[in-house]
Amino acid sequence: MVAQAFALGATAVVSRPREIIFKLAQIEVAEKAALTDFAITSREIADGAAAFASMFSAAQGGKLITFQTPSAPHQESSIASC
């Protein structure tokens, strides 16, 4: 059963009743870390998310999307035009 659980994508398995408390504590720690991570978003991540949202919105509306390759690394220009 444990092998099946991992094959289906489980990241942790409780094999014995006494493991439940430990696993629940691990889940609480992971949830708190996730909340903290979402509160601290870098500018690059926010810009990337906005670019993807814009592209998907344009595609859904039937607009043409063109891509440009920046001429220099780390260039602060748009790579997609919607």
Could you read off the pLDDT of 8-31 as tens digits, one per residue?
787 778 888 888 888 888 888 888
Q: Where are the domains of the chain?
A: 2-39, 43-81
- Return the pLDDT at 80: 55
- Give the integer Cα–Cα distance in Å for 79 and 72: 12
- Return the pLDDT at 70: 63
Q: Classify 24 as helix, strand or coil.
A: helix
Model confidence at 78: pLDDT above 80: no
Environment class of residue 51 by beta-carbon count within 10 Å: exposed (0-12), middle (13-18) or buried (19+)? middle
Give the global pTM: 0.36
Model confidence at 56: pLDDT above 70: yes
